[in-house]
Amino acid sequence: MKFTNNVKLFISKSILVFINLLFVYKYLGRYIGSPITVTLFLVVFYIVLLFFTNKIIIPGKISYWFNWGLIFLFIGLAIFAFQQIPPTSLNVDRWSVITSFWGSFLNHEYPYKAESHMGNVPGPMPFYFILALPFYFIGELGYLTIAGFLLFIYIIEKLKIPGNQKFFLTAFLICSAFFQWDLVCRSNIFFNAILILGCLIWFNTIEKQKFNRKLIMNAIISGFVLSTRTVLIIPYILTYLYTLKEKKITLLHMIFFGIILILAFLITFIPFILNHFQDFLETNPFIVQSSSLIPLPYTIGFIVLTIFVSFLCKSEIDTYFLSGLILFISIFVYFIYYIALYGFHKAYLESMADISYFIFCVPFILIHILIIEKKNNRIISIQDQV
């Protein structure tokens, strides 16, 4: 893509500020009469964290303790929030969709016809519910978001991101209104997206000239993880086509990989459609997701856009940036579509359009920012030595 790294950074950071703006203004407006002043103050705070802290150098040991102190503080506050804010007090039913799904399945009923406490049927794919099952038994689905956060921390540790960058971007994530909403509402969208990102980062590290065991394992797990939300196929398409274009994998190996991935994806449906095949034809996540978002032609258009953009990728880092960008654009179009249908107030403030879907793009954008700033700081350091 013909953008400089600085332009990509600016776009990425602006997207994160915009998403925060949507959440802050909408939810502050429910508690204070005029949220504009507080919203602007918080937007400035987010801009400072994202745009003006990347050159601050924190000594190694101090940044280490700052990072882990921040992580443990977040986990402690999250657990406290779960105890103080019961999910039944919120106007969000993703937790209820999971509990009704498993309640129905354990009663030998078809789970995709189960209704939440708000009357909604399940939309996510089967593996989404399988991942949530341990937390369903524990009785707190919010721990899924904590698991997603810890996976994010693990990924940036493996990428050897400098301590000061980790600290400020982790602080930004924890302070972000969209992340706090995702946590408190037990929404788990960040968790879904970080799983996909983790699979793709793992895929990028595997030697692909031979069809080895690691590649098979990645295909199986990627198929399972895709069985959460269909919109997350966008980063898969982009990354796999880029890898094929750069001849990092042969066409034959990519076909084998794709077959294994699709089989793993399909296997996740088997436990839930046994003895309920007719019910599955009438009500399934493909129907629910296509009817609750935007019309099918729009979805096909985004897939075509993804295929086209994959040929403009110049590096693996580009795949993270463009995955985040296309996910953002697709949800933004969905948002505008609902505004056109119902008007701004009803679509945005009365939640006819679900702004939480914007969180899908966040992990990809965060990783892109971390990798680019790591490269930029290394270049500056080398120049200083010269």
Give pLDDT tens digits for 113-139.
988 888 888 888 999 999 999 999 998
Give the confidence band of 287 by pLDDT, cuts at 50, 70, 90: confident
Please compute the mean of the pLDDT values over residues 198-213 and round it to a whole number: 92
Question: What pLDDT score was predicted for residue 165?
Answer: 85
Average pLDDT, the chain: 89
- CA separation for the pair 340, 333 (Å, rounded): 10
Helix extents (H) in the chain: 5-28, 36-51, 60-84, 94-106, 126-138, 143-158, 163-175, 177-184, 189-205, 213-226, 233-245, 251-267, 270-273, 277-282, 285-292, 296-310, 316-342, 344, 362-385
Greater model confidence, 386 or 194 = 194
Is residue 191 over pLDDT 60?
yes
Domain ranges of the chain: 5-385
Q: Which residue has the tokens 């196929």?
A: 233
